[in-house]
Amino acid sequence: MKSIPVLLIGCGGVGRQLGIALRVVGICDSRSLLAVNDIVNLELKDDLLKEICKIKSSGSSLSSLMDLGQCQIFKDSEARKKVIDIASLLGRSTGLVLADCSASSETLELLKQGIDLGCCIVLANKKPLTSKIEEFDKLTSDFRHIRFESTVGAGLPVIASITRVLSSGDPICRIIGSLSGTLGYVMSELEDGKVFSFVVKEAKRLGYTEPDPRDDLGGMDVARKALILARLLGQRINLEDIKVDSLYPDNMGPKSISVDDFINHGLPLLDKEVGEKVAVAASKGNVLRYVCMIEGSRCQVGLQELPMDCPLGRLRGSDNVVEIYSRCYKNSPLVIQGAGAGNDTTAAGVLADIVDLQDLFK
């Protein structure tokens, strides 16, 4: 059986669902790195991994671990240097997967150095891939050594399907998708005549939204996913080139009012406008969906009226749906649908990506 060494960057929700069946040689959080003393021969044991999950679930740092066994804690710049040392030692010998399950843009330089040292990269973190186009080019310069399925649809095979269609010589002319489980839930609930502010509050109660719902309602998470897909289709664009329609005005943004004020006072002020848009769409036999649209040189994110009987129109709950149109899928699109969020499904996507790289390891 092959042994794939993995260094896990980020042990939040996704990271805690991953790793017990792999030879994990190190784990980073935002403050420190825990690494085995003998990188070539040792691994973090299952009991220690479970203890790490428990500690991180409680909100504590890796540095609070007491019984380290044959491991060592490194902090701040020392931790970054140690990661590079591990990558240097394993990258071109046995091989090493740097699995970025964080939500930080600060991992970019580390990942670029890892590529130069022969490491494989697996990403659930969208931010490195949605930095400047030159950085994207660097990360994807050896496409066989990078996987990032979980950046767009958690465990759904969106990236794999697109790359497979493109590699067959079938040009993709259009992608339209609902890529936010939160906004998919909100839009489908509005169809039933529910009020916008009530639906958002209910989504927050169910744990669908971020602690600040504006992180979802602003559309930037969908925009990052759209940017990754657009770049796969060859668009040389950056995040600021995407037209993003937020579901709340600038004067209700985080710099203007608090989260509580937005939820209790700001959201109800949006009910009338959103309700009117839902009614207008329904009068035409359509529904509202918050989607990304990539077509030609165009890439935009926002509300769109769609027929009730199309795959996106039939969407209910927090599922993701992506429609891919190409020469072969011109009249009947390739449709990918399923759970597009959740720590367990995202971790499953990361694990599948790591397994997909196994032929690169000795």
Residue 28 contacts residue 83 (beta carbons within 8 Å): yes
Residue 65 contacts residue 52 (beta carbons within 8 Å): yes
Binding residues: 10-15, 126, 210
Got the DSSP string for 226-279? HHHHHHHTT----GGGSEE--SS-GGGSTTTS-HHHIIIIIHHHHHHHHHHHHH
State the Cα torsion 16-17-19-21 to the nearest 10°: 140
Phi, psi for 57 (deg, rounded to 5): -65, -30
Binding residues for NADPH: 126
Binding residues for L-homoserine: 210
Residues labelled as active-site residues: 225
| CA–CA dist 70, 72 (Å, integer) | 7
* 136: Cβ contacts below 8 Å, ≥ 6 apart: 129, 130, 231
What is the chain's Cα-based Rg?
22
Lookup: tokens for 343: 């720590």
Phi, psi for 346 (deg, rounded to 5): -65, -45
Question: ∠ CA 289-156-274 to the nearest 5 degrees?
Answer: 15
| CA–CA dist 331, 328 (Å, integer) | 8
- Count of other CB atoms within 10 angstroms of residue 124: 26
Binding residues for NADP(+): 10-15
Phi, psi for 63 (deg, rounded to 5): -65, -10
Give, in order, the Cα–Cα distances in Å from 60 to each of 30, 54, 88, 236.
11, 9, 29, 41
In eight-state DSSP terms, residue 29 is: -
